[in-house]
Chains A and B, each alone.
Chain A
């Protein structure tokens, strides 16, 4: 039956309503996990706080398991899920830029809005920078276009490129995540900071 929007089981406006509600829930979880503190976010790079890794990887794995099981039960057609097309060069360049911005600013786009919502000035400055970047990119698009569209790979899945079934790759990813969580907890003890 699902997904809801591409099958037109719900209208575009209902879709926006869902997006609004999910967005509020997302913001609530971000704030209650402490993501509106830039020190907590930067902690992942220095090892003293791995909550970013834990929350996002737990979220990703929960979502993956949910989708795989719903696909198994026939509740959702996994072929219709929107996958961002892969442009390899811009993914790498964008990842580096995003990572550098993350560590310098202490926020990522979502958490900066969380921080701004509770009145943090550094978060508001970060949002200003975000818009500068967006407009800067848009107005100089001609310079970047070649780079931006380079190495188009379609919509590949890692499981496909490795020749594994989706479920088996899911299991591997779960094991990787648990191993990462263990390393992260070890690092949290090793690089512990008193107060931040």
Chain B
């Protein structure tokens, strides 16, 4: 019984202290123009096409693709599972719940990156998190994923790993024959950005 009392004598006061202190809530809800500019310049909002392709193939439930082009363009072609929020209707109340949430990772895309990055900046200005931009947009997607170029034989192995991944991903996503394999670790440039904090988190395995 004695060690238990000793433990209680130590951790109950600690618990009381931590329960009594106010939580640190100094994070600004809205960004000033300077902060937004600084954040845009870090380019952390961009997710590469490889990461997105990998998530689509793995059916990662965290991913939500948002097409910010017009409805006609969306109907002609869209990425698998994407929803359409035309940039002009971005502020409409029906989309607030989609853009302002902390469960999914929203990836905005347009043909290039101009429209999607504009949409991202507006969501950031509203204080929303977990919105990202597909780097290079659909144009780059077509070049890199659906129609990858074989690297020259002098390229490092990583380039070939990336090419192999893109080729199989393109076949899976473009309706080709072969089954896609998940990206080898060195092909997907970095882990997908974690939901909520924009900073990168590394996966850890643990337990007893």
Contacts and interface: CB of A to CB of B under 8 A. Distances in A.
Interface residues of A, number: 42
Given A71-B24, A145-B59, A174-B12, A109 B18 contact: no
A79 B200 CA distance: 11
Contacts of A68: 18
Nearest to A169: B19
B61 A149 contact: yes
A7 B197 CA distance: 12
Main secondary structure of the interface of A (DSSP, over half): helix
B191 to A, nearest CB: 10
Interface of B: 1, 4, 7-8, 11-12, 14-16, 18-24, 59-62, 102-104, 194-197, 199-204, 207-208
Q: Does more than half of chain B's interface fall in helix, strand or loop, or is it mixed?
A: loop
Contacts of A175: 12, 15
B19 A167 contact: yes
A31 interface: no
Contacts of A181: 4, 7
B62 A167 contact: no
A159 B200 CA distance: 23
Nearest to B1: A185
Contacts of B11: 61, 65, 174, 178
A4 to B, nearest CB: 10
A178 B7 contact: yes
A82 B7 CA distance: 28
A15 B14 CA distance: 30
A168 B19 contact: yes
A154 B195 contact: yes
